[in-house]
Amino acid sequence: MRPLIATIRLDHLRHNYLLARAAHGGKTLAVLKANGYGHNAVRCAQALADIADGFAVACLEEALQLRAAGVAAPILLLEGVFEAAELAEVERHRLWLVVQSEGQLRMLEGANPAEPFRVWLMLDSGMHREGFLPQHYRAAWQRLRDSGKAESIVKMTHFARADEPGVPMTQAQIEVFDAATAGLPGEESVANSAGMLCHPRARRDWGRAGIVLYGANPLPAGYLQGDALKPVMRLSSRIFGVRELAAGEPVGYGSNFVTERQTRVGLIACGYADGYPRLASSGSPVAVDGRRSRIIGRVSMDMITVDLSDLPEAGIGSEVELWGDAVSINEVAAAAGSISYELLCNIKRAHFAFE
């Protein structure tokens, strides 16, 4: 078996969920979209079943996968429905849904459910991606209530920059939210992970915890104790080739890395086809048998070359951590000009081991 393994520590997932919910107070949806940010949504939902207040996914297909696996808890569709026909499934599986546009509101008004829906009505408080603008929100809320198609309406919005604590935009979005929803009854939900962790005014009835569940800190260093979150995914592989190169020799595609000294190169089974970011090339951290080293040369489709010059005990069969405990995924994301979210979602081809 190719030794690329994504070890998913479900106990860490539970720890992180409880930490996020305690920070926020109130109830918290565990966000499992994109197959649980690449961690396997069904396994994550099952691991959280006895502690989570509910789950959130992007779309109906993702929710049906959870229901088919026996997940009975509330599940919110964060994108709502794409066509009116989906509402029958929403009703049959007792899903909750976001309504974020005039088109979706009309679909609900035109539906004939036996039981009214549980709706989360999205306000565009400044991110300008989805939701009703502040001047239209109240009318949308009123139409929804008058339609009789909503059993309850949770007032919600989403932050654009909650992961930048010094930036005033989040406070401004909260003020827009409070003004646009003033006097409308019902529960509220405004915070994603970063909002839950560091914006006290974002603490409302429901938090929506995504990246924090998986143990990747969305905040800059210093805003959360370093070890408060526990990384859930540990991506590891093994060395299956070793060579000694003299100084001045190129390594890999494009020959854009050239050895500066006598160099021992280890070859590991992982590449961009596995979801490891190709842009994280020479210099990006890895840990060989727990000791940190770095990638040299470009990341290939199925292989990566690493520097073993200072690790004489490392050789064929040595374990290499791509991210997890010795190497923070945020370091790799920074090296690749990306974010932990994207790296995690892309891990689809590894062998998954749950513990």
Ligand X SMILES: *Cc1c(COP(=O)(O)O)cnc(C)c1O
Q: What amino acid positions are annotated as catalytic residues?
A: 33, 253
Gap between the Cα atoms of 152 and 209, Å rounded:
22
Q: How far is the CB of 194 from ligand X (least distance, A)?
A: 6
Instruction: Determine, following the binding rule CB under 6 A, whether residue 155 of this chain makes contact with ligand X.
Output: no
Q: How far is the CB of 263 from ligand X (least distance, A)?
A: 39
Which residue has tokens 């529960």?
187
* Stretch of 66-74, 204-212, 257-265, 288-296 lying at the interface with ligand X (CB under 6 A): 204-212
User: Is 129 annotated as contributing to ligand binding?
Assistant: yes
168: exposed, middle or buried (Cβ count in 10 Å: 0-12, 13-18, 19+): exposed
DSSP one-letter string for 289-349: TTEEEEB-S---SSEEEEE-TT-TT--TT-EEEEESSSS-HHHHHHHTTS-HHHHHHT--S
What binding mask, one character per residue, do residues 70-89 give for ligand X by CB under 6 A, x or -?
--------x-----------
Closest to ligand X by CB, 213 vs 308, is 213
CB-closest chain residue to ligand X:
210
User: Is 301 annotated as contributing to ligand binding?
Assistant: yes
* Stretch of 66-74, 147-155, 209-217, 279-287 lying at the interface with ligand X (CB under 6 A): 209-217
Instruction: Determine, following the binding rule CB under 6 A, whether residue 31 of this chain makes contact with ligand X.
Output: yes
Instruction: Determine, following the binding rule CB under 6 A, whether residue 209 of this chain makes contact with ligand X.
Output: yes
Closest to ligand X by CB, 210 vs 277, is 210
Instruction: Determine, following the binding rule CB under 6 A, whether residue 149 of this chain makes contact with ligand X.
Output: no
21: exposed, middle or buried (Cβ count in 10 Å: 0-12, 13-18, 19+): buried
Q: How far is the CB of 218 from ligand X (least distance, A)?
A: 6
- Nearest Cα to 320, choosing from 347, 285, 351, 348? 285
The H-assigned helical ranges of the chain are 10-24, 33-37, 41-48, 60-68, 86-92, 102-109, 134-147, 169-181, 193-198, 329-335, 340-345
Residues lying near ligand X in the complex (CB under 6 A) are found at: 31, 33, 78, 158, 192-193, 208-212, 218
Which residue ranges make up the annotated binding site for substrate?
A: 129, 301
